[in-house]
Structure 1
């Protein structure tokens, strides 16, 4: 495939309602498929929504929200994933979507996971966020290294990370060392109160652009959308911030080619494998632009850089 159509889906889920959110996600996947998308991506924990209540002061209502969030979390073997797989197959597009994944053993822990689904309707894998950020640690458990892999797809090599995992550096290099070409950087959405300036200079955009340039890869940076009006009335007192989206799509040189997006929308851009090759010919951080004689990276005791093929 010489050209690949990418889609960043920016929309609000139905908070605390995984069934309704799944139905909306399937409709959005179908819309992206009708527009010819080869890869469609959603933001961090889109299903059933980012835990907006985490920055509110502790109260009985806070604990009620936390319990409901666990209740509405998604199992990998549950009907929601089956519905998403069916929607991807019918749309003929690969899908990457953030979910609040329920631990199947305890049913008391939740992970911020990215789920990778093929256009054939198969679950390719999942990546659990390695370290929740700040207040997120009160809701999400630590992830693992199982999902730090690049998936071989018909259009190229596909990877993904959540939010501030792009700040940790080593997870990103783990994917770069596997030759990622298309990367999903999933975000909860821009917080205007924290980043009041031009959204192009927000942290989510800067880190996504940096990764694109470092990896020589296209980056889809879908951002969540959650305004106070999207929060159920009972839990509005816990809604202290808003997420206003600002999704972007970035080329392998780190330039924005679509977005930032406002409101509910699907952002599209056309990617070219030639542009990926151009970027990597100038800088391949795990190949010719590296020093394997000086550096080594181990993942769970196994050397992944330099690779055995190096």
Structure 2
């Protein structure tokens, strides 16, 4: 692979509470990205099969029914749906980072906001579980551990990713910067105030000297099953995406795309990354390890740490 690659942020609505249909749609989108020459395609937070937009109404009867359906549509890793995504990535010759509502394999009662990484060879590279769900997300989502702060060596460079407000926490991002990330999947549910979603990703890219694929989710009123429409006044719907590609200098290269489905693409170059890191390498010459000590505790959480 040469110095130049193509990055793609996939912005589309999943099929709420339907894992199989959402998986089929993801497969089509991955293949579409591959047809556009995309080398790295990124979906939003828990895209498969959707962000828990109903969680603020958890005490209501409809909210409890929605929670049960959400749990029933949780994704196992590995599993049939993930196998289909791997096949699509291989067919498209494209790396994929996709937000997945991962079902805890032990308890069968907890969901993790997992960012799943799949290589263009059709194999799982790894997964990162969100370490601190935000606000009402904590009703259903469990907490990940420190063992998944990985940077993956790919033909085009080093790949990393974080979920939503993990960028706000600062230290998760620094853990990846210390490993020299060059291409970063910044995944969001699409409902975050756009200034925060954008400037947190821009700040990460500027500090790390890396490209960012900022993928936001879409959930419109028409995407909500009719049964659950009465809950809409309780929840901030729609979610309108705001996906974009960010440069190693923190500049917006493509997008943002709002309130519509599409694939935002931009070309990336290792020479631009080298230029950025030459001025500021926070894991090297622009750091002071003699003053600041940083450690990630990577021990797995029990139960459900597989």
In the superposition, the TM-score normalised over structure 2's length comes to: 0.94
Task: List per-residue Cα deviations over 1:143-195 (Å, max 9, x = no partner).
Answer: 1112101000000000000000001111100000000000000000035xxx4
Q: Which range is displaced more, 230-239 or 149-158?
A: 230-239
Which ranges of structure 2 fall in alignment gaps of 5 or more residues?
Answer: 300-306
Tell me how far apart the structure 1 counterparts of residues 290 and 146 of structure 2 sit (CA, whole Å). 25
Matches within 5 A, 1:50-199: 50-56=51-57, 58-191=59-192, 195=193, 199=194
Deviation at 1:33, TM superposition (A): 0.2
The match for 1:231 among 202, 224, 227 is 224
Q: What SS is found at the alignment partner of 1:168?
A: coil
Is 1:271–2:268 an aligned residue pair? Answer: yes
Q: Is the 8 A contact 1:97 1:116 kept in 2?
A: yes
1:8 aligned partner: 9
Q: Which range is displaced more, 208-217 or 51-60?
A: 51-60
Tell me how far apart the structure 1 counterparts of residues 219 and 274 of structure 2 sit (CA, whole Å). 37
1:284 aligned partner: 281
Task: List per-residue Cα deviations over 1:73-117 (Å, max 9, x = no partner).
Answer: 000021000000000000000000000000111111110000000
Tell me how far apart the structure 2 counterparts of residues 249 and 237 of structure 1 sit (CA, whole Å). 36
Q: What SS is found at the alignment partner of 2:205?
A: helix
Is 1:298–2:295 an aligned residue pair? Answer: yes
Q: What SS is found at the alignment partner of 1:184?
A: strand
Q: Which range is displaced more, 260-269 or 57-66?
A: 57-66
Q: Is the 8 A contact 1:150 1:157 kept in 2?
A: yes
Tell me how far apart the structure 2 counterparts of residues 251 and 237 of structure 1 sit (CA, whole Å). 42
Tell me how far apart the structure 2 counterparts of residues 53 and 75 of structure 1 sit (CA, whole Å). 22
2:246 aligned partner: 250
Matches within 5 A, 1:24-35: 24-35=25-36
Tell me how far apart the structure 2 counterparts of residues 257 and 237 of structure 1 sit (CA, whole Å). 39
2:304 aligned partner: none
Deviation at 1:268, TM superposition (A): 0.4
Q: What SS is found at the alignment partner of 1:298?
A: coil
In 2 relative to 1, CA 277–135 (structure 1 residues): closer, same or farther, beyond 3 Å? Answer: same
Q: What SS is found at the alignment partner of 2:256?
A: coil
Q: Is the 8 A contact 1:52 1:238 kept in 2?
A: no
Deviation at 1:301, TM superposition (A): 7.2
**How many residue pairs get matched?**
294
In the superposition, the TM-score normalised over structure 1's length comes to: 0.93
Deviation at 1:57, TM superposition (A): 5.9
Which ranges of structure 1 fall in alignment gaps of 5 or more residues?
Answer: 303-310
